[in-house]
Structure 1
């Protein structure tokens, strides 16, 4: 079988530095503020890239909707000798912010270590090409760089996802890297010293607290920024709408805006069940076992739009939304189903303008 060469339009999800290359280029051209060593943009321009604004004649779209000060602290941290730790519940844009920070600062968001229970030291330090190691013995040519080592050599930003999923002894591999800014290679009696511009962004999940708690020594090497859930319904609605439009373009869905009222209902349901309280503050609710994050709300709306496009009339309806929403809420078939059914009856059934939505959710349940 012959495979055609991959073109940018074939990529399902391109890296931030490619997707937003025109914005980054415009920001660099208009940037008159001082830049830290090896940074592509000044901290002010990085902040504009994250929060949105204008660079010359180019509109810069917001990548993060939330408190400005949090992003100021995050950007400023990366200009110091402290690493950055982004913490939050699932779906609070930790990975998204991490990717865009690396793209704006280094022009490369791909220097990524995905933390898991099986991540070993070689993923953070280095590994070996064992064929060359056996044939030639330890040498630079046999060395396989980790993303962290590469970032140190070239003065770039490295990323480490889900740090608290990594075993504690592997986590502590970072201590020398972050404190001494050096990575020893005892087999070669040498070391890699970090070039100016190097830093590390790690992410961690609030719900993983205690899984592999960071040591005190490692915590001291990070400046921690906690990313909260969106403050208001309108903020979260804005985030969901923007991301759904972006995903729709990448998936080749028709450029039809989603029915805003249906999206608002999804966001309202997620916020109320997450908070355990109706939006008017009058009725207490039980919360399901899942996180009901903004990222999941985006998935629900995106799946609903896909159903509407391929099996409906192209317009997002309550029935399309309900088909995806029920599965997002009900993770435990017994406990969560009871919570969901109770919510429908005490919060949704008599809500003005929600009758079609209530009926669709009842049918799907």
Structure 2
């Protein structure tokens, strides 16, 4: 999960503010700084930064004034960078909301300076959306030609020597997944419609694939054994440390509130309620009296906590022009926890009776007394 995102667009300059600029735009100054300092350092073929500089970009470097962008173990990030440097595909797996997509974006920006060659896995995705398609007007008039070919992310990545990100790969049909085999093994894509030199596309140095899969969807379209062999797997775990998660939710929600035009940030007691509730309900351990809670089927990730914090601030400011309160949190947390599972609704109510009621502090008392707002 990123800990810093400042808008690179200026409304005052007459330009629309981007809702979510990609990492290479968001952190363009840091990438340029690291690249300048990195001159002459050994780096893998086709890479913009050395492994050391890429590690500093992702995990931060206090000496250079670069803040960490994600909470992750150093050894894990180093393994990921080494995997990409060896030419192996990288598979990031983990619970929903553990910042796998953001991590793949940061890795791509560090390696090749671009994170936008992205494939979004889903039941409707087809092979031509991954590899290439055709401009059918030109195809009818001229027949198959390089001019009529419309490159998709995989074609563009191989042609330019860049990282391609395949999000939620296990949600794509098996036959679509397996079209990656040739590109990962032989680094070549056949284009049978074209003759001569245009019929084969050979990957340039720097090309690779970073895929992600969340553990709740891995069984939807389980990857073939052949495709798994071409990836190195890394598990991205939830944030274990309470203080680290608290700081991340505080910073990320403050950024979102600024982007929404809200001058208020969430009070620390409300953030404590939010983070503690999420950790309790996802089974991160007993952080108070009353024993451990049953895990919910809903996703209680750090990313969801940030979304709830943003919603609390929006509700409080735009409805009543005040800062968020425990009562707002009860209203907003219900939509995240209570979806279509009646058991989760019961567990949430039980949480207030068994946990919130027994904790000390005025904010916990106000939180408990607002339980009637639950659906």
TM-score, normalised by the number of residues in structure 2? 0.91
Partner of residue 286, structure 2: 278
Closer/same/farther in 2, CA of residues 22 and 167 from structure 1, 3 Å limit: same
CA distance in 1, matches of 2:22, 2:67: 16
* 8 A contact 1:289–1:332 mirrored in 2: no
- Which runs of structure 2 are paired with 1:137-156 in the superposition (5 Å)? 137-156=143-162
Matched, 1:185 2:191: yes
Q: Any residues of structure 2 matched to 1:283-294 within 5 Å, and which? A: 283-294=291-302
Alignment of 1:1-365 (within 5 A): 9-32=16-39, 33-54=41-62, 56=64, 59-189=65-195, 190-254=199-263, 256-275=264-283, 278-280=286-288, 283-332=291-340, 334-353=342-361, 354-365=364-375
Question: For the Cα contact (< 8 Å) 1:277–1:283, is it kept in 2?
Answer: no
Contact 1:289 1:331 in 2 (8 A): no
**Deviates most, 280-289 or 310-319:** 280-289
CA–CA distance in 2 between the matches of 1:177 and 1:262?
49
Question: Is residue 167–residue 212 contact of structure 2 (8 Å, CA) maintained in 1?
Answer: yes
8 Å contact from structure 1 (residues 26, 55) kept in 2: no
* Aligned pairs, number: 358
Deviations 1:202-223 (A, max 9, x none): 1101001211001111001101
3-state SS of 1:236 partner: helix
5+ unaligned residues in a row in structure 2: which ranges?
A: 1-10
The whole-number CA distance in structure 2 between the counterparts of 1:246 and 1:107 is: 24
Aligned CA RMSD, in angstroms, stands at 1.9
CA-CA distance at 1:248 after TM superposition: 2.4
Q: Secondary structure of 1:69's match?
A: helix
Distance 1:210 1:41, change over 3 A: same
Q: Decide whether aligned partners of structure 1 residues 8 and 101 sit closer, same or farther in structure 2, where only a CA change above 3 A counts.
A: farther
Q: Tell me, in whole angstroms, the C-alpha distance in 2 between the residues paired with 1:88 and 1:221.
A: 19
Residues 157 and 330 of structure 1, relative CA distance in 2, 3 Å threshold: same
3-state SS, counterpart of residue 69 of structure 2: coil
CA contact (8 A) 2:275 2:305 kept: yes
User: Is 2:125–2:172's contact at 8 Å kept on the other side of the alignment?
Assistant: yes
Work out whether residues 278 and 347 of structure 1, in 8 Å CA contact, stay in contact via their aligned partners in 2: no
- 1:60 match: secondary structure: coil
Structure 1 stretches of 4+ moved >3 Å: 6-9
CA distance in 1, matches of 2:258, 2:63: 24
In 2: Cα distance, 1:266 partner to 1:19 partner = 28
> Gapped runs of 5+ residues in structure 1?
none
Q: CA deviation at 1:9?
A: 4.7
Shift of 1:8: 5.6
